[in-house]
């Protein structure tokens, strides 16, 4: 099997002499700005994945962001001790978290019961601002980091033009990977979501696609895209193409959006996805926009 799980990855100037009161005002403003900026950056943040099947709310740990680093929730090298401590701290009964949908506050998550014996996970109950949005493959996030200062926060289905443009781009990407045109015409959209990661009220698209083989029992070609631009002028800002012809498990290689959240407090949301790996175990990936490029800053196995 050739499964490719994406990798984790003073200014000097001259000026004229200013009055003392002007300098003091300037210094006070600079101190205020620095303190305000630092106040926006959380020291430690836990991020959880939330999914709902029927009436069951299932919660999985994604990561802990601390001291500027995206870290695994706990060390698997330390055995069940580290796992148990994580569950006792973060999944204790009655503990509350902020529910995130579309990058902003969407209600609350209350932990009902946490388990550490065969992994680290919990069952919970939701209080949603708009009930019914989290279901099946539509996941959300939860965190202990208050994001209420965020202005624009939404997550929606694409418009007809956005959908058409995204499918056309996905077909082009499949062509680059050598798939024939007659196969590409059978493309299926597994999920396509419009989000706003930077508060400019303009949509970025996150899409998961599939091209099946003629024999439906054979593994398909999966494609994950982060799409920037406008309809008619889209480009793939990030892609993950997966084809594992000898896989015996399904849907090995499928990557889907969990949600987006400003984890590091820089004003631009990170995109969190879940990726189906061996043993039906979910891997969580985090993409971060820096200098116009979406880079992968974290990948970690679902802790169960």
For residue 236, give its domain range: 43-301
Higher-pLDDT residue of 118 and 266 is 266
pLDDT tens, 198-251? Answer: 888 899 999 999 999 988 888 999 999 999 999 989 999 999 999 988 876 667
Q: Is the residue at 100 inside a domain?
A: yes
72: three-class secondary structure by DSSP = coil
Q: Is the residue at 26 inside a domain?
A: no
- Please count the other Cβ atoms lying within 10 Å of the Cβ belonging to residue 135: 12
Nearest CA among 258, 219, 213, 265 for reference residue 242: 219
Q: Is the residue at 208 inside a domain?
A: yes
pLDDT at 19: 43
Q: Is the residue at 19 inside a domain?
A: no
Q: Is the residue at 24 inside a domain?
A: no
CA distances for 205 relative to 158, 187, 192, 250, 259, angstroms: 8, 17, 7, 25, 12
Instruction: Give this prediction's pTM.
Output: 0.84
CA–CA gap between residue 133 and residue 51 (Å, rounded)? 10
Q: Is the residue at 221 inside a domain?
A: yes
pLDDT tens, 241-267? Answer: 999 888 766 678 899 999 999 999 888
Number of domains comprising the chain: 1
104: three-class secondary structure by DSSP = strand
Supply φ then ψ for residue 61, to 5 degrees: -75, 140
Q: Is the residue at 70 inside a domain?
A: yes
pLDDT at residue 92 tops 90: yes
Q: Is the residue at 165 inside a domain?
A: yes
Going by pLDDT thresholds of 50, 70 and 90, the confidence category of residue 42 is: low
């Amino acid at each position: 099997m050739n499964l490719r799980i994406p990798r984790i990855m003073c200014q000097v100037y001259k000026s004229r002499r200013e009055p003392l009161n002007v300098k003091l005002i300037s210094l006070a403003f600079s101190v205020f700005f620095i303190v305000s900026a630092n106040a926006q950056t959380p020291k430690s943040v836990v991020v959880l994945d939330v999914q709902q099947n029927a009436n069951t709310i299932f919660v999985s740990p994604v990561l802990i962001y601390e001291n500027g680093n995206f870290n695994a929730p706990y060390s698997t090298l330390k055995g069940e001790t580290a796992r148990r401590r994580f569950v006792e701290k973060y999944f204790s009964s009655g503990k509350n978290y902020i529910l995130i949908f579309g990058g902003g506050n969407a209600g609350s998550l209350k932990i009902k019961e946490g388990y550490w014996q065969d992994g680290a996970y919990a069952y919970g109950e939701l209080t949603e601002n708009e009930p019914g949005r989290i279901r099946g493959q539509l996941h959300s996030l939860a965190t202990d980091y208050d994001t209420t200062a965020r202005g624009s926060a939404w997550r929606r289905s694409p418009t007809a033009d956005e959908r058409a443009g995204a499918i056309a781009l996905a077909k082009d990407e499949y062509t680059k990977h050598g798939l024939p045109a007659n196969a590409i015409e059978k493309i299926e959209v597994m999920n396509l979501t419009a989000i706003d990661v930077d508060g400019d009220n303009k949509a970025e698209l996150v899409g998961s696609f599939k091209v099946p083989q003629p024999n439906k029992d054979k593994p398909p070609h999966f494609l994950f895209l982060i799409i920037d631009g406008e309809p008619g002028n889209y480009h793939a800002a990030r892609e993950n193409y997966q084809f594992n012809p000898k896989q015996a498990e399904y849907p090995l290689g499928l990557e889907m959006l969990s949600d987006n959240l400003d984890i590091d407090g820089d004003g631009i949301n990170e995109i969190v996805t879940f990726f189906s790996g061996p043993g039906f175990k979910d891997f969580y990936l985090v993409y971060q926009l820096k200098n116009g490029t979406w880079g992968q800053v974290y990948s970690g196995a679902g802790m169960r």
